[in-house]
Structure formats: structure tokens, C-alpha cells
Amino acid sequence: MAKRVLLAVSGGIAAYKACDIVSRLNKLGVEVQVIMTENATKFVTPLTFEALSGRMVYTDTFDYSYDASIKHITLAQEADLMCVAPATANIIAKIAHGIADDMVSSTFLAATCPVIVCPAMNTHMYENPSTQANLRTLEERGISLVGPGVGKLACGDVARGTLSPVDEIVDAIAKALGPQA
């Protein structure tokens, strides 16, 4: 049986790189279910992820138009691993503090599988003491962090804050899933 990854995409410019994560995981035989924050849909449409994954993308915690299941619970239960990529300062703060006000943060709270968080944001946001404290909180709870990398940011600066290379993220996911991935 194929391993299942729940890929949670939050609203940063690096959201387009999540498309490559889906494609590469599919090539490894991993089933990928994508969920998105509303802000993420401003950068990449759900349709793009649906075409790449072959699965419905969920963005609204309260959308029951397809079936009566409680999606943020069932998707969390079905996942072998959850990966948040890109993880903005906003979604990191929400998940570190148990705020569940969108599809991604609600699903995160219901997840009992291993979780990988891939930070991506402006370097000043990343270095902010609040963000650093939130990242430490996630690590203390056993959540794996991949990145961020150093490179050219959306603002034009070259600094820490870019999404880690897709190869590194996919490798971390495959390693966490074990030999069958």
C-alpha cells in the first residue's frame, strides 16, 4: 500500500514550489493529498494541485459539499506524514499556539502522524524573536524542521528565509516515511 503524505500549503510566494514537491513524491509512488490556506490560493490555484495529485484539494474547513465526513479529521487520520511547505510565519504561529481557524491549522491539530515544517519567509520575519520562539516550540514537540535556506528573497535581499530546495524536502519526507517510500 502506498504511503500517504498530507501536504499543507500556506500563503507565501514559495507556494509554487509545492507543485514540484507533489510531482516528485508522486514519482516515488507516494499518494499526496493537498490542503491549502485561503492565502495560498492567491499564489497557486487548487486546480493546479488537483491536476498534479489527482485528488481533490481542500481549502475550507467547513465545506461539506462532497461528502459528510469531517475533512480536517479524516485527512489527518489517513496521513502517514504531514508536511507544511511553505510554512509562513503566520501558519507557524498558529500551529505553535494551537489556533485552528483554517483548513491547515485545524488539520494540524488533528494530526497524530509525524510532521515536517518547512519555513519560508522574509529574513526579518524569520529572525523575529516571536518566530524563533514558535519554531523552538515546534521542535520541542517533536516536529521536524527543514530549512529555511539562504537565497534571493521576494524583496530582493539575499538572506536566510527561502524555502529549502525541493530535493531536501522530498528527501526528508522519504526518510521519515521509511524504506517503502
Q: Could you list the active site residues?
A: 155
Strand, helix or coil for residue 103: helix
H or E, element range at 140: helix 129-140
Measured distance CA(32)–CA(7) in Å, rounded = 7
Q: Inter-axis angle of helices 89-96 and 129-140, to 10 degrees?
A: 50
Residue 77 to residues 4, 40, 138, 141, Cα–Cα distance (Å): 10, 23, 20, 19
Q: Inter-axis angle of helices 103-110 and 89-96, to 10 degrees?
A: 40
